[in-house]
Amino acid sequence: MAEIEIDGAPAEPAHLAALGLLNYGHFTTLRAEAGHARGLALHLDRLVRDCRTVFGAALDRDEARARIRRALPADGAPVIVRVTVFDPALGLERPSAPAVPHLLVTTRPAPATAPGPLRVRTAGYRRELPEVKHVGLFGLLHQRRLAQLDGYDDVLLLDEAGRVSEGATWNLALYDGRSLVWPDAAALPGVTAALLAGAHPGPQRCEPVTVDALGGFVAAVAVNAGVGVRPLAAIDGAVLDPAHPVVGELRAAYEGVEPERI
């Protein structure tokens, strides 16, 4: 069951209603265990950066960190933490009003087992402000829903030029048998992707990847803070090897990243 706090106190229904009705804000999601989280500094950097972009306001890193720490379970059990930044006083008529950001922190139990490989299909879709992890998820979830109704597990997004950008809620890394390839397109700069890129000892590069080139890869992984490294079994008709040795290497590299104390 999710636990919800706003500015360190139990969430007031009126504040939650304001977020639900306006749906304007940004967030970050991280996995915490025993008071530690991988990439904590990068998650805090994202909150500060996106707050300037979305609200034109400063966000106190230390306060955000304290709010996360306060929300963690006392027994250190692994949880998924989401920190949402919003202003319940803003309205539809004047979202340009000076903002006073509030922090909504939710926790839920982390998955006990690693999820299986993904089968995804591609779809042309570009998030608004793709560099920001904002709360406008309707388009992403709609694309995910359509893919699942068509028999797939998730969706992989293509930009206007037919280049691979990102998954619905994850970044993509492809392996061509020699190098790890990060698609070069407008996408969310993922914390897990940054950690994995820094930890992976093998060759890697960033370059545009068109949908027609996907058949040239032998393996691929979806990466985000919630699941870490998850293999793909197929993209459209391109079959990938979810048991390829590189998948285990990438997972080990990510899990070798030292978690930071919250």
Write b or e for each residue in 102-112: b if 16 or more Cβ atoms lie within 10 A of its Cβ, otherwise e: bbbbbbeeeee
Would you write out the chain's pLDDT as a tens digit for each of its 262 residues?
467 878 887 877 877 888 888 899 999 999 999 999 999 999 999 999 999 999 999 999 999 999 999 999 999 999 999 999 999 999 889 999 999 999 999 999 998 878 899 999 999 999 999 999 999 999 999 999 999 999 999 999 999 999 999 999 999 999 999 999 999 999 999 999 999 999 999 999 999 999 999 999 999 999 999 999 999 999 999 999 999 999 999 999 999 999 999 9
Give the per-residue pLDDT at 17. 83
Give the per-residue pLDDT at 1. 47
Query: Given the DSSP bridges, would you call strands 26-33 and 36-37 parallel, antiparallel or unpaired?
Result: antiparallel
Give the phi and the psi of residue 126 in degrees, each rounded to 5.
-130, 125
Domains, the chain, ordered by start: 3-109 (3.30.470.10), 118-261 (3.20.10.10)
Q: At what angle do helices 61-71 and 40-55 cross, to 10 degrees?
A: 120
Angle (CA) 247-137-44 rounded to 5° is 65
Give the per-residue pLDDT at 21. 85
Give the phi and the psi of residue 64 in degrees, each rounded to 5.
-60, -45
Task: Specify the pTM.
Answer: 0.94
Helix H or strand E encompassing 68: helix 61-71
